[in-house]
Amino acid sequence: MPYNRRQFIQASATAVAATSLIGCGGEDTVVIDTSLPVGPYNASSTAEEVTRGMDLSGKTALVTGCNSGIGHETMRVLAQRGAHVFGTGRTLAKAQEACDSVSGRTTPVALELSDFDSCIACANTVAEQTGSLDMLILNAGIGSFTDFELINGIEKIFVVNYLGHVVLTMNLLPLVQAAQRGRIVHVGSQMGYRSVPEGGIDFDNLRGEAEYDASLAYGRSKLANALFSLQLSTMLDPAETTSNAVHPGFVKSNIGRNATGVVGFLYNNVAEVIQKNVGEGAATQVYVATNPLLEGVSGAYFEDCNPVKINLPNYVFDRALADRLWVETQQILGDYIAA
């Protein structure tokens, strides 16, 4: 079947995305930020290793997207170390099945990020069951193998990966602030600086005004995750509550499930020779959520279990852009985030 123009652009974009991801170990793309505490872990550390000997009993965590890939491993290891983990799935049945598949104390909660009422219902359900959240891990997401779609007038990847998580976070914030030194971890991606529109966030294209490029749309959503992390770090006292962003690495998960054609074949069959397994993929977010070294560290960006600076032109630490995004986000979300 011949490709139409949109399919061609999308295939090209996904090829670029895959290439970028495969090149993600690029030498000196990032350097460890030695102005922040640096731990003993690296790209091959696993979530189990970074929490070895840790007792998280008495702590509560919420992990979005607990039924698959990196999120499932994150929930599994936090529960193994004694935390009570609220695991979200797009349906209660999916979350329940995932929770049943791990040992320890877990509670399933429904969360459909494209539905802001569901985000609020999720936050309310959690609030009925706990007075505080020590770790909020914003992990769920869709990849760049996503057809163009508007949800309530806004491009779908931006809605699911970014806006839905903003609604959830702002409605859970009182619980995170009620915890002693609560931590919010935003799962971004290197694509947030490798593949973004001109200017970082193309505010004049959030409603599909220009040509759709799935790779740029994904990168934009992941940059938005990082900028939201930065914004929260300026709004919250780091001695009380921290907010940091991570890139998990190029990880064998289900994120490429919708990839088709040559790109799909490469992504889902060949790429695994260089991909991290889910244990390695979950390590950075679990490290940032739990390690005592990082007490008070906020507004940082982590790769391979280390805080890093980025050696490419990027917007990840752009406070002016974070401010602008926050203003636009408040306008879009209105009452959904008005506490």
Closest by Cα among 117, 253, 109, 104 to 187: 253
73 within 8 A of 95, measured Cβ to Cβ: no
CA distance 92 to 87: 10
The one-character DSSP state at 276 is: B
**Nearest distance in Å: CB 247, ligand NAP:** 6
Contacts of 206 (CB under 8 A, 6+ apart): 154, 155, 158, 328
Out of 18, 172, 173, 255, the only residue in the binding site for ligand NAP (CB under 6 A) is 255
Establish if 245 lies at the interface with ligand NAP (CB under 6 A).
no
CA distance 30 to 230: 18
Establish if 125 lies at the interface with ligand NAP (CB under 6 A).
no
Q: Which single residue is written with the structure tokens 């999720």? A: 122
Identify the active-site residue in 162, 212, 267, 287.
212
The residue number with the shortest CB distance to ligand NAP is: 69
Query: Coil, strand, or helix at residue 157?
Result: helix
Out of 17, 54, 113, 173, the only residue in the binding site for ligand NAP (CB under 6 A) is 113
Identify the burial level of 316 via C-beta atoms within 10 angstroms of its C-beta, where 0-12 means exposed, 13-18 middle and 19 or more buried.
buried
287 classed as catalytic: no
Out of 44, 114, 125, 177, the only residue in the binding site for ligand NAP (CB under 6 A) is 114
**Nearer residue to ligand NAP within complex by CB, 183 or 276:** 276
CA end-to-end span of the chain: 51
**Nearer residue to ligand NAP within complex by CB, 178 or 271:** 271
Establish if 19 lies at the interface with ligand NAP (CB under 6 A).
no
How many amino acids of this chain bind ligand NAP (CB under 6 A)?
Answer: 27
Establish if 189 lies at the interface with ligand NAP (CB under 6 A).
yes
CA distance 259 to 248: 20
CA distance 290 to 201: 31
242 within 8 A of 184, measured Cβ to Cβ: yes
Give residues 64-93 in contact with ligand NAP (rule: CB under 6 A).
Answer: 65, 67-71, 89-90
Out of 184, 251, 259, 305, the only residue in the binding site for ligand NAP (CB under 6 A) is 251
**Nearer residue to ligand NAP within complex by CB, 84 or 247:** 247
Establish if 283 lies at the interface with ligand NAP (CB under 6 A).
no
By CB under 6 A, which span of 109-117, 126-134, 196-204, 328-336 interacts with ligand NAP?
Answer: 109-117
Structure tokens at 132: 């505080």
Establish if 142 lies at the interface with ligand NAP (CB under 6 A).
yes
By CB under 6 A, which span of 30-38, 55-63, 110-118, 329-337 interacts with ligand NAP?
Answer: 110-118
Establish if 141 lies at the interface with ligand NAP (CB under 6 A).
yes
**Nearer residue to ligand NAP within complex by CB, 282 or 321:** 282
From start to end of the chain, where are the E strands? Answer: 30-32, 60-63, 84-89, 106-110, 135-138, 150-151, 154-155, 182-187, 241-247, 301-303, 306-310
Out of 77, 102, 160, 308, the only residue in the binding site for ligand NAP (CB under 6 A) is 160
Q: Quick one: how many helices (H) and strands (E) in the chain?
A: 12, 11
Cα torsion angle, 163, 60, 287, 240, sign: positive
**Nearest distance in Å: CB 58, ligand NAP:** 26
By CB under 6 A, which span of 53-61, 135-143, 146-154, 229-237 interacts with ligand NAP?
Answer: 135-143
Residues that bind ligand NAP (CB under 6 A): 65, 67-71, 89-90, 94, 111-114, 139-142, 160, 187, 189, 247-248, 250-251, 253-255
